[in-house]
Amino acid sequence: MKLTLAHDHKLATGVLGLAFTPDASRAFATCMDNMLYSVDLANGETHAFNDAHGSYASGCVLLPDGRTVISGGYDGLLLWHDVESRECWRRVQAHQFWNWQLALSPDGTRLATTTGQYAPAGWKYEPAPEREPSVKIFDTATGDLLSSFSHTPPVMSCAFTPDGQYLAAANILGEVRVWNVTSEDGKPVAQFTSPDFTSWGTTKSHHYTGGIYGLAFSPDSAVLLCCGMGPMGDPMAGNGKMTWQRWNWREGKRIDEIKEGQHGGGLMESVAWHPSGSHFLMAGRQAQGNWNIALFSAADGNLVHSVDSKKRVTHARFTADGNAVILSGAQGQGTRKKDGWEPWGRVQVYKVEA
């Protein structure tokens, strides 16, 4: 398999969240200007929704009916938007702090959201206990809170199993917990920790950094794929090892990880399985090396094809037929010109070719 760029669409500011229609004709992007946008994936025509978050809009999901987009933001709000009118018709205060990531159950009935502020609690700069449950699940039809689960904040990522029965969430320390979504006692059914995704730096400042930024279950639900950035001595440099690992999550057993010599330095923010289960993709931002988007073989974990998009990738997802990958992100941090800001958000479409 290889990736070939088909479309590269510009948005006003960096894109933090991505969703798209099943036919891959339209995408929805949440951005650093607090806004939600609709993007025509063929011609790049962009329309802003009418209501904004009070801070960065961090994520979005499209419900299966195709009529509703739910967005999350650093204001802790969840907003329900009508796709055609672009009006917001429901607001739910999900968190007291930022929403880090959203995940929609496969049947579209449940929305998971993660939060948490990193505040040092001791001389080892370990994160302080959560001030509210770091993982919550909401009913997409009513907006009601269905479940709350405890974790060590901040919780950076979450993902449902393909059958929707389990939810995984991971944090800055590389700790992964998995719950049955109908659990009444709130206890995880599985949990494990990988130290290969976090750093405690002693250069410039003392604090933990990194974490697991992306999670994805294999199509058969047996394997959980994690991605992020490996340990580094200087946490301010952002050049730790580009890292993925695959885990038998029920047993808490690591199956494999990115091979030596196949990675560079930088933060990987997104992972996705090809619908066939034959390959998976990892993408993010590059500090060192020659790629920031790469395909790997599910059979042996080897690198199959890679691309240097020269952009930060925040989300990467295969289309339902597996013939394309849609990505969101940013190029640089914006350049101000006399007549305004240069657009620096990106939504891209890559063809997946044999």
pLDDT tens for each residue of 31-50:
999 999 999 999 999 999 99
pLDDT at position 183 is 86
Average pLDDT of every residue of the chain: 94
Q: Is residue 23 part of a domain?
A: no
Instruction: For residue 256, count other CB atoms closer than 10 A to its CB.
Output: 14
Q: Is residue 195 part of a domain?
A: yes
Residue 179 reports pLDDT greater than 80:
yes
Q: Is residue 198 part of a domain?
A: yes
Question: Of 119, 101, 231, nearest to 174 (Cα)?
Answer: 231
List own/partner pairs for 325-328 with CB under 8 A and 24 or more apart. Answer: 325/3, 325/272, 325/281, 325/349, 325/350, 325/352, 326/18, 326/20, 326/24, 326/27, 326/41, 326/350, 327/18, 327/270, 327/283, 327/293, 328/15, 328/16, 328/17, 328/18, 328/27, 328/29
Between CA 287 and CA 264 the distance in angstroms is 8
pLDDT at position 342 is 86
Residue 8 reports pLDDT greater than 90:
yes
> For residue 127, what are the CA distances in angstroms to 101, 123, 132, 207, 295?
19, 11, 14, 9, 34
Q: Which carries the bigger pLDDT value, residue 288 or residue 109?
A: 109
| Segment 237-242 mean pLDDT | 82
pLDDT at position 236 is 66
Q: What confidence tier does 240 reach under pLDDT thresholds 50, 70, 90?
A: confident
pLDDT at position 219 is 96
Ranking 12-21, 36-45, 177-186, 233-242 by mean pLDDT, the lowest is 233-242
The two structure tokens encoding residue 168: 């995984």
| Segment 300-311 mean pLDDT | 96
29, 35, 38, 44 alpha-carbon torsion, rounded to 10°: -80
pLDDT at position 339 is 67
Q: Is residue 42 part of a domain?
A: no
Contacts of 291 (CB under 8 A, 6+ apart): 264, 306, 307, 308
Between CA 311 and CA 286 the distance in angstroms is 8
Q: Is residue 65 part of a domain?
A: no
DSSP 153: S
Q: Is residue 29 part of a domain?
A: no
Residue 255 reports pLDDT greater than 80:
yes
Number of domains in the chain: 1
Phi, psi angle pair for 131, to nearest 5°: -95, -15
The CATH number linked to 104 is 2.130.10.10
Residue range of the domain that includes 293:
2-14+72-353
| Segment 126-154 mean pLDDT | 96
Question: What residue type is 280 in one-letter code?
Answer: F
Residue 91 reports pLDDT greater than 80:
yes
The two structure tokens encoding residue 246: 């695959």
pTM: 0.96
Q: Is residue 63 part of a domain?
A: no
pLDDT at position 235 is 64
DSSP 197: G
The two structure tokens encoding residue 149: 């689960």
pLDDT at position 176 is 98
Q: Which carries the bigger pLDDT value, residue 333 or residue 109?
A: 109
Q: Is residue 30 part of a domain?
A: no
